[in-house]
Amino acid sequence: MGRRHQHEEHANHEAWAIPYGDLVTLLLAFFVVMYAMSSVNEGKYRILSDSLVAAFRGSPRTLQPIQVGEKSVGSGADINMTIVQQAMLDGQPRSMLEPSPLQVSDVVSQGARHASESQYEAEHTSAAMMELESVAAEVEQAMSELIRDQMIVVRRHGVWVEVEIRTDILFPSGVAKLSAEAQNILKQLAQTLKPFPNAIRVEGHTDNLPIKSAAFTSNWELSAARAASVVHLFTDSGLDPHRLAIVGLGEYRPAYPNDTEQNRNLNRRVLLVILSGNGNPEGDYAGDRGQPESEPVPQPQPQVPQPAVTTAQAAAPAPAITAAPIPPVSGGR
């Protein structure tokens, strides 16, 4: 029987490719990890760190934990809050996490602000709006003939009612003295408005034709004088002067373009702006005129609940840091 021929095993000269491929893969993963660590978000990293520390240190296991010693403040691990609540405080210094103590002046300022807001809400309640609607209805009934002839227009604007009176029935051209017919009309209107406590702002308007006479140097004086004539007649008819205010707007609030004689005639008018409530006709700032400057009201800082210490050994209290108040941004009309 012949002996079997044994084949020689060939040497594999490409065996180095397998460990080389593994090395390249590991290097790629290493540099990807290094790149990811180089662009870490500091805020998110702090939130993650604080949440991990708080999770490993544990939280109270009872609904009302027993307080032992003083509460510790300062670090995120001592604050019992969610990740979303911590994200809201992202970027703020740790001193801002502590409640800011209120001073006596802050309490007084906040009380004055709340009183002003309560007064504004009271002046715009449903009862005040219903009373304003009653004023508009009474004016429409008393001036029905002139409204039908479009010499008087009553418009409702939510928190105020506007009564527009054409100057054709009030003043001759270029003067601020009321005609005899206008006095009878305004006296009837004054008796209609007298029972109501609403504030009234009387506005005078002119066209854009310049005027320069011995009595009036511009349309400013003419419009203000015409509004003042109406106010004088109202006060002589028994209206409370504290309810009235004079506004002269000249030619700068036209209702129509001053391009035709008809439009200029429509722009020569007197407006009675009847406000809701019984406040001042010039607005809520009337009581602050001539008073010292008020201190800026500090914005309330985030109130963070402090967890109770359940261990027998209480942590040392951190020194309290008072946060600086942020001045409010004043609004404008």
Confidence of residue 116 (pLDDT cuts 50, 70, 90): low
Q: Are residues 166 and 53 in the same domain?
A: no
CB-based contact 304:79 (threshold 8 Å): yes
Task: Tell me the pLDDT tens digit for each residue of 202-218.
Answer: 999 999 999 888 889 99
In a domain, 135, yes or no: yes
Which of residues 126 and 101 earns the better pLDDT score?
A: 126
Q: Are residues 161 and 237 in the same domain?
A: yes
Within 10 angstroms of residue 72's Cβ, the number of other Cβ atoms is 16
Nearest to 275 by CA among 165, 152, 135: 135
Task: Tell me the pLDDT tens digit for each residue of 39-58.
Answer: 667 777 788 788 888 877 76
Range of the domain at 86: 42-57+72-97
Confidence of residue 332 (pLDDT cuts 50, 70, 90): very low
- Overall average pLDDT of the 255-279 stretch: 90
Q: What is the pTM of this model?
A: 0.53
- Overall average pLDDT of the 132-154 stretch: 91
Q: Are residues 90 and 203 in the same domain?
A: no
Question: Does 326 score more than 60 pLDDT?
Answer: no
- Radius of gyration (Cα) for the chain, nearest Å? 39
In a domain, 134, yes or no: yes
Q: Are residues 53 and 169 in the same domain?
A: no
- Among 101-110, 154-163, 169-178, 318-327, whose mean pLDDT is lowest? 318-327
- Among 122-126, 255-259, 321-325, whose mean pLDDT is lowest? 321-325
Q: Are residues 143 and 244 in the same domain?
A: yes
Nearest to 280 by CA among 240, 220, 321, 317: 240
Q: Are residues 150 and 243 in the same domain?
A: yes
Q: Are residues 49 and 148 in the same domain?
A: no
- Among 237, 265, 282, the domain boundary falls at 282
pLDDT at 236: 95
CB-based contact 164:273 (threshold 8 Å): no
- Output the domain CATH number for residue 255: 3.30.1330.60
CB-based contact 328:299 (threshold 8 Å): yes
Q: Are residues 134 and 277 in the same domain?
A: yes
Structural tokens at position 311:
């261990």
Confidence of residue 248 (pLDDT cuts 50, 70, 90): very high
In a domain, 159, yes or no: yes
Q: Are residues 82 and 131 in the same domain?
A: no
Q: Are residues 262 and 174 in the same domain?
A: yes
In a domain, 304, yes or no: no
**How many domains, the chain?**
2
Is the CA virtual torsion 163, 216, 176, 224 positive or negative? Answer: positive
In a domain, 331, yes or no: no
Give the residue carrying structure tokens 């100057």. 167
For 48, 59, 111, 116, the CA distances from 292, given in Å and listed in that order, are 49, 51, 17, 17
Q: Are residues 141 and 202 in the same domain?
A: yes
- The size of the chain, in residues, is 333
Task: Tell me the pLDDT tens digit for each residue of 295-318.
Answer: 665 666 656 555 544 444 444 444
Q: Are residues 195 and 49 in the same domain?
A: no
